[in-house]
A and B are shown apart, each in its own frame.
Chain A
Amino acid sequence: MWIKKTAAALMLAAGAMTVQAAESTDSIRIAMLVKSLGNGFFEAARDGGEEAAKELGNVDLIYTGPTTATSEGQIDVINSLISQKVDAIVVSANDPDALVPIAKKAMRRGIPVLSFDSGISKDGRVFHINPSNAELIGYKQIAMISETLGGKGEIAVLSATAQATNQNIWINEMKKTLKKPEFSGLKLVDVVYGDDQSDKSYREAVGLFRKHPNLKGIIAPTTVGITAAAKAVADQGLVGKVYVSGLGLPSEMAGHVKSGAVDTFAIWNPIDLGYTAVYAAHEIVAKKSKGEPGDRVRIGRMGSLKIDGKGETAMAEPFVFNKVNVDNFAKIF
């Protein structure tokens, strides 16, 4: 008897927790499926998605994800989204390959699947939205340090490992950017590798100060490197003399921005990313774009996306953080 009661209570509880039980037939239901719930980065992406939904007016956003970041969990969720006949799914995938079969099934049933942040392989999505691309990332980092230093001085790069593909591509793009006339006052004097270990990155940064007494700036395109370099600047009493910039997480960088070791740094903005993903999904559902290679997809306040030959696209240049906005974002990720 009591089992029955418990069950009934459970069911009522489940009913009360319903997030999206009611739906109107004329609205477009877009599901944002993230790697796992309870992750600040994705909650920020959800806020961006809500913003896009509000702006578009007729969009209901379903924010969902598995408890643990597994592809099996995401597959179960996609199954249930297919059953609910949602209009589109945007997903940050836990595994590029394992989600292909289920995503294909969704698309066979007329539900377009877009991936953002962490992609699904080519066959399993209409297109993938990268937060940024190498060219924009390389350019932005030079532009940031240039602004801090007033356009002239010696700079060095503190990278992760010498073999890290993305790091090397970005450093290459930085070198290309430095050839532009507006950055002619900057001189890249060294590239060192901290192997994404805090202690080694720290020692490499200190080594840079010794080797290049006129060094004005360090660019660290790695979250480990940038915090280690900023700490080295503070410990060596070089605040105001050497500035650190690069790619970092606001939560880790807020202190260094306040200490003055860091003027500006950048990373992709998850709010913009969520906004872009949901907006783009709406454009596909509303048949305003097919999302095929070569197409352009309008994304509201973020401008537009151009789909490349591999079915991928880049949202924007990395978002810049400074002492004005870092505290707000430090709470998010």
Chain B
Amino acid sequence: MIATETMSWKEKGSSLFKSWESLLLILLLLICLANTWASPYFLDIYNLMDSTAIFSEKAVIALSMALIIISRDIDLSVASIIALTSTVIGYFATLGFDTFTLLWIGVFTGAICGGLNGFIVTKFAVPAIVVTIGTMSLYRGISWIVLGDRAYTDYPENFWVLGQGYLFDLIPYEFIAFLVLAVGFGLLLHKTTIGRNIYALGNNPRAALYSGINVNRYRFWLFVLNGTMAGLAGVFLTSRLGATRPNIAMGWELEIITIVVLGGVNILGGSGSIAGVVLAAFIIGMLTFGLGLLNVPGILMTIIIGLLLISAIAAPILIKKFKPAGGK
């Protein structure tokens, strides 16, 4: 069965994702089955809904990060954008702004940070990895300068609702936001010309340019979009913690990129799907939650997720190797 799928993948790019997604789906189901078998607390709708907090914020950023990576860029500054966003809304919270305004301030801060990334990348033609390593230090550095060893904790009375509120006492708002955004990103990437153009410039930027796509404008706005999502995630995370410190979300950029790559997005750009990214977010979330229920030490979780990621990257290469091009 796999063999036929492999063949069709070679013939037609898009069916790779179909087969990759089905593999992810099988993996997710296996993880859920194993969790159910291993822990009596797994199959509980309230526990499952609570567990979405593990991945919702990261997954929101993974959606836009997927577009960035498909278009051959990368953004390592997202976790630092969270820190700066959180610091900015923490500052405005002390001035007495309400929850709704803080939400917009946070999203706007993220957009500005993303815009600066995009501006430097496109205007000065510096590789995105270099620029965002720089802004990674810059954004969190500003947060350190502002806060030092202090923390912002004076958030409005109802601010917690964003990150910890539930619809019908069951579904976290964060999770709903993720699902809605996932549908939005899916439509954008797979059903619009914008989406087609993102694939085009990821596959061959020069060809894309010659066929009339304003490549740099796309790249700039994708960075703005990614910053915006990081800003939104920053607001959610701040609400969930109820406090801002400069070390907030430390190291998240790699966890987010892990979700994207596990989701089948080619790290070299040009291919990938939102469905895969969504599935990968669930896989990492359910795996972490399941292992957590068994009190498996965190370091082993990291190892397991690392192995999963290496398998994900190795799988297509291995399949290619064992089914040489001349084979069929």
Residue positions of A touching B, CB distance < 8 A: 1, 3-4, 6-8, 10-11, 13-15, 17-21, 37-38, 62, 64-68, 70-73, 75-77, 79-80, 82-85, 95, 97-98, 100-101, 105
A85 to B41 Cα, complex, angstroms: 8
Q: A70-B251, A98-B243, A98-B248 are in contact. List 13 more A-B contacts (CB 8 A).
A: A3-B27, A7-B30, A14-B294, A14-B296, A19-B295, A20-B294, A67-B302, A68-B250, A85-B41, A97-B151, A97-B245, A98-B245, A101-B160
Answer yes or no: B130 CB below 8 A from chain A CBs: no
Q: Mark B291-306, 1 if CB is under 8 A from A, else 0.
A: 1111111111110100
Known: A80-B292, A80-B293. A10 touches B308 (CB 8 A): yes
Determine whether the beta carbon of B242 is less than 8 Å from that of A100: yes
Distance in Å: Cβ of B317 to nearest Cβ of chain A: 13
Q: Say yes or no: A79-B299 contact (C-beta < 8 A), given A7-B31, A97-B153, A101-B164.
A: no
In the bound complex, residues from chain A placing their C-beta under 8 Å from that of B8 are none
The segment from B48-56, B182-190, B204-212, B273-281 that touches chain A is B48-56
Query: How far apart sit A8 and B293, CA to CA, in the bound complex (Å)?
Result: 18
Q: B294 contacts which of A4, A17, A66 (Cβ < 8 Å)? A: A17
Are B151 and A14 neighbours in the complex by a CB distance under 8 Å?
Answer: no
Whether B243 and A100, one on each chain, are in contact in the complex, defined by CB atoms closer than 8 angstroms, is yes
* A64 CB to nearest B CB, Å: 5
A76 touches B300 (CB 8 A): no
Asked if A73 contacts B50 (CB within 8 A), the reply is no
| B129 → A minimal CB distance (Å) | 23
CB distance from B2 to the nearest CB of A (A): 6
> For B237, what are the chain A residues with a Cβ–Cβ distance below 8 Å?
72
Tell whether B311 is near chain A: CB-to-CB under 8 Å.
yes
Q: Whole-angstrom distance from the CB of A49 to the nearest CB of chain B?
A: 14
In the complex, the answer to whether A11 meets B296 with C-beta atoms within 8 Å is no
5 pairs from A and B in contact (CB 8 Å cutoff) = A18-B38, A19-B295, A38-B299, A77-B292, A97-B242
Q: Which 9 A-B pairs have the closest CB atoms?
A: A80-B292, A97-B243, A11-B34, A67-B298, A98-B241, A83-B47, A98-B243, A18-B294, A7-B30
Among the interface residues B2, B30, B242, which one has the most CB atoms of the partner chain A within 10 A? Answer: B242
Which residues of A lie under 8 Å from residue B247 when comparing CB positions?
Answer: 70
CB of A10 to closest CB in B, whole Å? 6
Q: Does B240 lie at the interface of the complex (its beta carbon under 8 Å from any beta carbon of A)? A: yes
Q: What's the tally of chain B residues with a CB closer than 8 Å to chain A?
A: 52
| Binary flags per residue of B234-276, CB closer than 8 Å to A gives 1, else 0 | 0001001111010111110000000000000000000000000
Determine whether B14 belongs to the interface, using a CB cutoff of 8 Å to chain A. no
Neighbouring B residues of A75 by C-beta, 8 Å: 53, 240-241
What is the CB-to-nearest-CB distance from B51 to chain A, in angstroms, rounded to a whole number? 7
On whether the beta carbons of B241 and A14 are closer than 8 Å, the reply is no
A76 and B30 form a contact (CB under 8 A): no
A13 to B164, CA, bound (A): 33
Query: What is the bound-complex CA distance between A15 and B290, given in angstroms?
Result: 10
B51 touches A79 (CB 8 A): yes
The residue that A83 contacts in the complex, of B249, B293, B297, with Cβ under 8 A, is B293
Are B249 and A72 closer than 8 Å at their CB atoms?
Answer: yes
Contacts of B51 in A (CB 8 A): 79-80, 83
Chain A residues, CB < 8 A from B289: 80, 83
Give chain A nearest CB distance to B52 CB in angstroms.
Answer: 10
Nearest-neighbour CB distance to chain B for A147, whole angstroms, equals 37
Interface contact B241-A79, CB-CB below 8 Å: no
A72 vs B248: C-alpha distance when bound (angstroms): 8
**B303-321 interface (Cβ within 8 A of A):** 304, 307-308, 311, 315
CB distance from B158 to the nearest CB of A (A): 13
In whole Å, how far is B64's beta carbon from the nearest beta carbon of chain A?
Answer: 20
Residues from chain B with a CB closer than 8 A to the CB of A21 are 38-39, 294
Tell me the residues in window 29-76 of chain B with beta carbons closer than 8 Å to chain A beta carbons. 30-31, 34, 37-39, 41, 44, 47, 50-51, 53-54
Question: B170 near A: Cβ within 8 Å?
Answer: no
Q: Is the CB of B23 within 8 A of A3?
A: yes
Chain A residues whose CB sits within 8 angstroms of the CB of B291 once the complex forms: 14
CB distance from A136 to the nearest CB of B (A): 26
Cβ distance B227 to chain A, nearest Cβ, rounded Å: 20
Write the B129-166 contact mask toward A (1 if CB under 8 angstroms, else 0). 00000000000000000000001010000001000100
B194 within 8 A of A: no
